[in-house]
Structure 1
Amino acid sequence: MSRFFASLALGLFLLLSASCSPTAPPPRPEPVVGLDRLFERLRSTDNPAEAQAIEAAIRHLWAKTGPQVANTLMAHAMDAAHQGQHRIALALLDRVVMLAPSFPEGWAMRASLHFLSDNPMAAVADLAHTLALEPRHFAALASLGYIMVEMNEPKAALQAFELSLAVNPHQPDLMDQAKRLLRLTGGRLI
């Protein structure tokens, strides 16, 4: 990946860290009832089974907080993606983010599809939208970190992994990645 694209991705990451988007601020989603409490419990529990159940509950709430039409389109997009029909899935997800721009999971899912389709810059842009809407989206932060690893930006990757682990410390694979990057960069780990 060229230094230009890595710098662009890093710039988007810094914009996202400052809680702003590359253009206008996105519309804020309505608060999801119970989500704050779930995040508090996720950070405070020492029980791996409980942490896994809390994470599943958070992911379920994220997936179901969009308007019904967006949820339906997302389900069809997931089916298309699982069948390898990435163009169809991407078209459906384009529609989701157009119809429900304040639905973080629509942006997150489209980011995943962009990444799978070898379009990391589009993935980073969609992750920036996701995180502007839901800064605690630990999966989006982790995805951003993995993209930074792919772009050979270990310090940015470590920062994204640390932010994800601060929200959800129960990600052993991510912790291993962060430790590896810590050794490479001489950085810090939360």
Structure 2
Amino acid sequence: MRFFASALILSLSLLSHPLGAQEPARPQSGPKDQTQPARPKPPRPSSLDELFERLGKAQSEREAEGIASLIERRFSRSGSDTADLLLSRAAQAFGKKDFPLAIELIDRVLTLQPNWAEAWYKRATVFYQLDDPVGAMADLHRALTIEPRHFNAWTGLGHILMASDDKARALLAYRKVLEINPQMDDVKTIVTKLTPEVDGQDL
């Protein structure tokens, strides 16, 4: 699923300071001031909390997609080069539809980084492809316990609940997505359609 501002470095020229002239017709300049102006510090990258705050205030789907992409990049980093590499290889296996290998690799990732929400989310995706919605839901709940703002995990949970015809709880999951990312038009469409269907039902 996709988003950092590049630092702008200002170039300042040195000032020259002319000294007294030896000959009126040919004034001589003294040496230039060699003092270098201090370079401005590059802007501090936004924290994850700040990115989520910006996501909630985004004014268009395009703006929200850019911020969501930055959040997803943060989610994809575990802090362990080994775990990141293994998850990358799992993604390659997933792309080749080698789902057993993908599961094996992600299992190794979770042994190294059991509190990495993204790894639980990725394994849930593989389980769903293996027609194991129970395993997928369990992993999505683990991901959301670690990172309750994981909008992709909430979306996946909504899809699984819809597939099992649990429309009431699916609607709750989709509404949670919109609390985090109000500009997801496809989810808004689903919520608009589901709301009258589940209205009045006991949750």
Q: TM-score range by the shorter chain?
A: 0.7 to 0.9
Residue pair 1:48, 1:170 contacting (<8 A) in 2 also: yes
Q: Which residue of 2 aligns with 1:43?
A: 56
Aligned ranges for residues 26-175 of structure 1 at < 5 Å? 34-175=47-188
For the Cα contact (< 8 Å) 2:121–2:140, is it kept in 1?
Answer: yes
Pairwise CA distance, 1:187: 6.0
Kindly provide the CA deviation profile for residues 52-83 of structure 1, in whole angstroms up to 9, marking residues without a partner as x: 11010000110013421111000000000001
Deviation at 1:116, TM superposition (A): 1.1
- The whole-number CA distance in structure 2 between the counterparts of 1:159 and 1:43 is 18
Q: Which has the larger radius of gyration?
A: 2
Normalised TM-score (structure 2): 0.74
Structure 1 gaps of 5+ residues are 1-31
Contact 1:111 1:124 (8 Å CA) reproduced: yes
RMSD (Å), alpha carbons: 1.7
Stretch of structure 1 that moved more, 161-170 or 61-70: 61-70
- TM-score of the pair, normalised by structure 1: 0.79
Gaps of 5+ in 2: 1-44
Residue 20 (structure 1) aligns with: none
Secondary structure at the counterpart of residue 113 of structure 1: helix
Relative contact order (C-alpha < 8 Å, sep 6+): which is higher?
Answer: 1
4+ residue segments displaced more than 6 Å: none
Instruction: State the identity %.
Output: 33
Structure 1: which amino acid aligns with 2:134? M
Bigger mean CA deviation after superposition, 60-69 or 89-98: 60-69
Write 1 or 2 for the structure with the bigger share of helix: 1
**Number of residues of Structure 1 aligned to a counterpart in Structure 2:** 157
